[in-house]
Amino acid sequence: MGGWVALLGVGGIAAGVGLAFLPPGVSEGVWVAAIDAVDAAAIAGAAGLAPLLVQAAGRLARALTARVRSVPLRLATIQLPRAAVHGGATTATIAGALAIASALAILVGSFENACLAWVEQHFAADLLVGRGDRLRLLAGPPFGPGVAAAVRGIDGVAGVEPFQVLRIDMEGRPVCLQGLAIAERLARGGLPMVEGTLEGAAAELRAGTGALLSDNLAYRRGLHVGDRIALPSPEGVVSLRVAGTFVDFLGSLDLGAVVVADDLLRTRWHDAAASLLRVWLAPGANAADVRRRVLERLGGGYFALTGQDFVVAIRTLLDRFFRTTWLLIVVSTFIGVIGIVNTQVASMLDRARTNATLHTIGIPVRAIARGVLVECALLGVAGGLLGTTVGIVLGTDAIWWSLPVLTGWRLPVRLPAAELLVGGAAAALVSAAAGWVPARAATRIHLGTRSVD
């Protein structure tokens, strides 16, 4: 039975890795089912692999410590390979908790990484000005074209680039329609393009015959450069050629974004407002001074952030957005600790007679208890390694497959090596600390009577 479960695990993990080499093309439901099946197989298999891993960890520890004469270490390395079922249960618990935590950490880390990289390019500006008391994750409250004109006239301002987002329907599903100041964007770093170039698309955009699609929208709708899209507008359906695709997160979330020239937004959607201004300073201008002047000119109800402040604000927004996720990580770690305590206390109760015998033949109680701590730490190391491995597979699967299928986002995987290392080390430490309870249980056994009764 254990062998089959282990085989399932190896198969699941291998299939998880193998998914990366399969081309997409089947339906969303099939993909999601396949990914879920692979993830479930990987988790179940990891649990099945745990006893084998415990045996291997015990033997390895014994080989590595052959010359060490510490009694607790010797007891632990003798017991561990032979108590693979109980140890395996503990390891599987740790591995399960750590796998979830690692997968979430990879998911969150990769998203934050990609999103912040995009923010730094897409929203690179000396100042960002908007309405309201704070930056909004989606588009903030709109304001009229007079605001942009007023800011342009402020001493030290070299350029102003309005940015507007409208929510419209495209083939029955909501998308974010963004109005872009083409000349300003071209002059200020362009867009992070996936297909085509902004320079190549500029003519079609200015002419009102072309549009750019966010990569997630293009991926989910299967659209590429040259395809046509139809957008409803107050002036009737606007048919546009896809002139390029670009990376976009914040303005569209998983809805997807369509970018048109701001002139087209004004003429076909009758929208000349903006929800955010990118402000560029003249050479030598002091950002703090210009910011003060902007706020003075606009009066109350507006915010102005420096580029640096903006990134901090985005980080804060993302942190708020993912706070629940981090809570999940903490909860899964807590569950792991409870699991360790639970299974190891059960193991100690099972081994009451063994511990009593050890004490009777002259092994000090303290050495027995320390042996339990070492055992728990070794289980933590095994669980940490297994959990991190499975977590990397699950996290990578989620980014490579689940996320594109569900949201269209195609993110580069960022393995948070430091966090994963800390997580693995913490698993060992937490496991050893959690061993304190069963170790105490081991010392509280009525050793004498148990052994000779």
Partner 1 sequence: MAGGVALDVRGVSKVYRRGRLEVVALREVSFRLEAGSALAIMGPSGAGKTTLLNILAGLDTPTRGEVWIAGERLDALDAEAATIFRRRHIGFVFQFFNLLPTLTAAENVGLPLLAERLSRREVTARAHAALAQVGLADRADHRPDELSGGEQQRVAIARALVLRPRLVLADEPTGNLDSQTGRQIVGLLRALVTEHGIALLAVTHSEAVADACDRVLEIQDGAIRPACA
Minimum CB separation of residue 41 from partner 1 in Å reads: 30
Would you count residue 200 as binding partner 1 (CB under 8 A)?
A: no
How many Å is the maximal CA-CA distance in the chain? 96
Closer residue to partner 1 in complex, CB, 361/418: 361
Q: How many residues bind partner 1 (CB under 8 A)?
A: 29
Q: Is 325 exposed, middle or buried (0-12, 13-18, 19+ CB in 10 A)?
A: middle
Q: Is residue 179 a contact partner of residue 262, using CB atoms and an 8 Å limit?
A: yes
For β-strands 257-261 and 173-180, DSSP reports them as parallel
Task: Give the interface segment with partner 1, choosing from 31-39, 140-148, 311-319, 441-449 (CB under 8 A).
Answer: 441-449
Q: Among the candidate windows 6-14, 36-44, 269-277, 365-373, which touches partner 1 by CB under 8 A?
A: 365-373
Q: From 74-82, 122-130, 237-245, 269-277, give the range in contact with partner 1 by CB under 8 A.
A: 74-82
What is the CB neighbour count within 10 angstroms for residue 337? 18
Q: Is residue 14 part of the contact set for partner 1 (CB under 8 A)? A: no
Picking from 112, 99, 109, 43, the residue whose alpha carbon sits closest to that of residue 418 is: 109
* Rounded least distance, CB 438 to partner 1, Å: 17
Long-range pairs, 135-141, Cβ under 8 A, ≥24? 135/303, 135/305, 135/310, 135/313, 135/314, 135/317, 137/250, 137/253, 137/317, 137/321, 138/165, 138/176, 138/250, 138/251, 138/253, 139/164, 139/165, 139/176, 139/251, 139/275, 139/276, 140/275, 140/276, 141/275
Q: Taking the complex as a whole, how short is the minimal distance between the CB of residue 7 and partner 1, in angstroms?
A: 25
| 164, 302, 315 from 152: Cα distances, Å | 17, 16, 28
Answer for which of 267, 325, 342, 354 binds partner 1 (CB under 8 A) is 354
Residue 358 contacts partner 1 per CB under 8 A: yes
Q: Is 63 in the site for partner 1 (CB under 8 A)?
A: no
Among 15, 42, 50, 75, binds partner 1 (CB under 8 A): 75
Closest distance of CB 381 from partner 1, Å: 20
Measured from the CB atom, the residue of 297 and 366 that comes closer to partner 1 is: 366
74 makes contact with partner 1 (CB under 8 A)? yes
Subset of 78-97 contacting partner 1 (CB under 8 A): 78-79, 82-83
52 near partner 1, judged by CB under 8 A: no
Which is nearer to partner 1, 202 or 447 (by Cβ)?
447
C-beta of 1 vs 66, nearer to partner 1? 66
In the region spanning residues 16 to 35, those forming contacts with partner 1, defined by CB under 8 A, are: none
Residues 161-180 that bind partner 1 (CB under 8 A): none
Among 154, 365, 415, 433, binds partner 1 (CB under 8 A): 365
Listed in sequence order, the residues at least 6 apart from 309 whose beta carbon sits closer than 8 Å to its beta carbon are none
Q: Is 443 in the site for partner 1 (CB under 8 A)?
A: no
362 part of the interface to partner 1, by CB under 8 A: yes
Binding mask 312-351 for partner 1 (x = CB under 8 A): ----------------------------------------
CA distances from 187 to 120, 147, 183, 246, 309 (A): 16, 21, 6, 17, 23
β-pair type (276-281, 210-214) = unpaired
Distance between CA atoms of residues 277 and 184, nearest Å: 12
Identify which of 331, 364, 342 has the alpha carbon closest to the alpha carbon of residue 435.
342
CA–chain centroid gap for 17, Å, is: 18
Amino acid at 26: V
Residue 111 in tokens: 């998203």
Q: Alpha-carbon distance 35 to 16, whole Å?
A: 8
Residue type at 287 in one-letter notation: A
Q: Which stretch binds partner 1 (CB under 8 A): 30-38, 70-78, 331-339, 383-391?
A: 70-78
In the complex, which residues of this chain contact partner 1 (CB under 8 A)? Answer: 66-67, 69, 71, 74-75, 78-79, 82-83, 353-354, 357-367, 447-449, 451-453
